[in-house]
Amino acid sequence: MAKKNQTLGEFIIENQNDFKYSSGELSRLLNSLRLAGKVVNHEVNKAGLVDITGAAGDTNIQGEDQQKLDVYANEIFIQTLTDRNIVCGIASEEEDDFIIINSKDENHQNKYVVLMDPLDGSSNIDVNVSVGTIFSIFRRVTPVGTPVELQDFLQTGDKQVAAGYIVYGTSTMLVYTTGNGVNGFTLNPALGSWYLSHPDMKFPDDGKIYSVNEGNYLDFPAGIKMYIKYCQAEEGDRPYTSRYIGSLVSDFHRNMIKGGIYMYPKGSKNPKGKLRLLYECSPMAFLAEQAGGLASDGYNRIMEIEPTELHQRVPFVCGSKNMVKKVHKFMQTFG
Ligand code: AHM
Ligand code: MG
């Protein structure tokens, strides 16, 4: 039973019987992510102060190497998961290939792989706008005790055992699911603890917010153009409100709380869409469905798309159930 103000550590222990498999291992993995999230949060919050936002490879005034925050976040998450001997493989939006982790005991007993976007929306860092970390966890499909292979990462979203995000916003929140609803925890920076602030989060079935980069309007498929016109029409509860932060995590988070839809369709600049199936869309789709919302590529459930490559991109439509269904109707009619 979720209790408000319970700490994330307590919540993980109390709910570990909900996990389908090896609860201790998954609990340790979630604990590592919450720790790495705190370290990254600390850096994100002082980004303006310490001039850490310079380009990777730059040298600061003291002659120390500077790192971009997305490179830093990538390293922190990989290092935390590796040092604590918790997973057998990691794939990251920041890495060309997946990383094989050899367990410290001889037989590589770890069963989980993590896929992540360590700092999504990173173009927002320099202007002090919210960014986020997205993670997705699968059980490996190749035999335990052997090095992980590509097929351990190329799994459909339906196979996820957990997924979540951290939003570094006006307050920092960690929101995750293990397939039993969605819960949100807010970091108390003074104490360094995450507290359950948003138990059992749900997308309202309907919403009044649409989030899309309308600068690309001319490039959108006809169905999306027609849906945007529908959102803008004066009829019933419309026109809807347009809100676009340009940080998927933040746009999703707001829409889940208030009711809304996020869209990143394909276009000539992004013929397959911009967002990555495995690091962004699949985990967000798991969260959306667990919160009573929907996520698709405009036609099909994201959770059923068979990945063919690590950095695969897909069109993405995600949010309140009835809004996503409306987009499907427009896509079927106008393409
Ligand atoms: P990134 O992984 O390079 O940060 O790109 C993903 C981000 C999303 O967070 C955001 O919704 C989208 O890209 C914004 O793209 P655009 O600036 O084209 O609207
Ligand atoms: Mg990203």
Q: What is the pLDDT of residue 106?
A: 63
Asked if residue 70 has its Cβ within 6 Å of ligand 1, the reply is no
Q: What is the pLDDT of residue 63?
A: 45
Q: What is the pLDDT of residue 258?
A: 98
Q: What is the pLDDT of residue 204?
A: 98
Task: Give the closest residue (by CA) to ligand 1 atom 3.
Answer: 121
Residue 96: partners with Cβ closer than 8 Å, 6 or more residues away: none
β-bridge pairing 112-120 and 193-198: unpaired
CA of 199 to the centre of ligand 1 (A): 28
Model ipTM?
0.97
Tokens of 266: 């394909």
Residue 210: partners with Cβ closer than 8 Å, 6 or more residues away: 228, 231, 240, 241, 242, 243, 260, 261, 263, 323
Q: What is the pLDDT of residue 16?
A: 79
Asked if residue 246 has its Cβ within 6 Å of ligand 1, the reply is yes
Q: What is the pLDDT of residue 55?
A: 53
Asked if residue 136 has its Cβ within 6 Å of ligand 1, the reply is no
Cis ω for the linkage preceding 189 (within 30 of 0)? no
Dihedral (Cα; 215, 254, 294, 330), 10-degree rounding:
-30
Which-ligand-closest: CA of 246? 1
Asked if residue 211 has its Cβ within 6 Å of ligand 1, the reply is no
| Under 8 Å between Cβ of 140 and 88 | yes
Counting from 1 in the atom list of ligand 1, the atom nearest the Cα of 250 is: 9
Phi/psi of residue 221, each to 5°?
-60, 155
What's the topology of domain 209-334? D-Maltodextrin-Binding Protein; domain 2 (3.40.190)
Q: For residues 295 and 289, give the distance between their C-alpha atoms in angstroms, rounded to a whole number.
A: 7
Asked if residue 124 has its Cβ within 6 Å of ligand 1, the reply is no
CA of 247 to the centre of ligand 2 (A): 8
| Best residue among 44, 115, 120 to mutate for probing ligand 1, ranked by most atoms within 8 Å of CB | 120
Q: Which amino acid would we find at residue 214? A: E
CA Rg value for the chain: 20
- Profile the chain (335 residues) by mean pLDDT over runs of 10 residues: 81 79 81 95 81 52 61 95 91 96 74 96 86 97 93 98 96 96 96 95 98 96 98 97 97 98 94 97 98 98 98 98 98 95
| Under 8 Å between Cβ of 295 and 303 | yes
Task: Give domain 8-198's CATH number out of 3.65.10.10, 3.40.1010.10, 3.60.9.10, 3.30.540.10.
Answer: 3.30.540.10
Q: For the chain, which residues make up each domain, given as ranges?
A: 8-198, 209-334
Residue 60: partners with Cβ closer than 8 Å, 6 or more residues away: 51, 54, 66
